[in-house]
A = this chain, B = another copy of it.
Amino acid sequence: MLAVMEIDAADLDGPTIGQVSDRVGLSPDTLRWYERIGLLEAVPRDAAGQRRYRALDLDRLELLIKMRATGMPLTEMHDYVALIHAGPASRRDRLTLLETHRQRTLDRMAALQRDLVVIDRKIDRYRNLLEHDDAQHHPG
């Protein structure tokens, strides 16, 4: 109750950077780099100065990874994190950011489907051509 910002003993048994790396599929370098650029702030260090990720950090990381995987640029992820720092008053803005990104992702998926049509057409043309070839090679 007195030491509000003290290191909690529970912080010291979380996974190390290597374990997190294996778990989430980002390299240790990338994890450290995310911290450097402020996507993941101040992961607590143990007595030896090594990172120990808390459940909190891992939760944040999970969302960040899905944001990246759906193509959100790091700058926008940074904006999102900045909103978190701004406190509960920014929740509406965070929601808007996520909703915008969600829609953008749906739009991109639709575009992918449209773009695939052109490729599918080309695939069909090759299949037809090759059928022809087969007919020539195995007549009768």
Decide yes or no whether A78 CB sits under 8 A from chain B. no
With a cutoff of 8 Å between Cβ atoms, the chain B residues found around residue A70 in the complex are 112, 115-116, 119
In angstroms, Cα B132 to Cα A123, docked, is 53
Q: In the complex, which residues 13-51 of chain A have their Cβ closer than 8 Å to any Cβ of chain B?
A: none
Asked if A91 and B130 make an inter-chain contact with CB atoms under 8 angstroms apart, the answer reads: yes
Q: Mark A91-128, 1 if CB is under 8 A from B, else 0.
A: 11011001101100110110111011011101100110
A interface SS class: helix
With a cutoff of 8 Å between Cβ atoms, the chain B residues found around residue A105 in the complex are 112, 116, 119
With a cutoff of 8 Å between Cβ atoms, the chain B residues found around residue A122 in the complex are 63, 98
Q: How large is the interface on A (under 10, 10 to 19, 20 to 34, 35 or more residues)?
A: 20 to 34
Contact of A91 with B123 at beta-carbon distance under 8 Å, contacts A62-B118, A112-B70 already known: no
Residues of A bordering B, CB below 8 Å? 62-63, 66-67, 69-70, 91-92, 94-95, 98-99, 101-102, 105-106, 108-109, 111-113, 115-116, 118-120, 122-123, 126-127, 129-130, 133
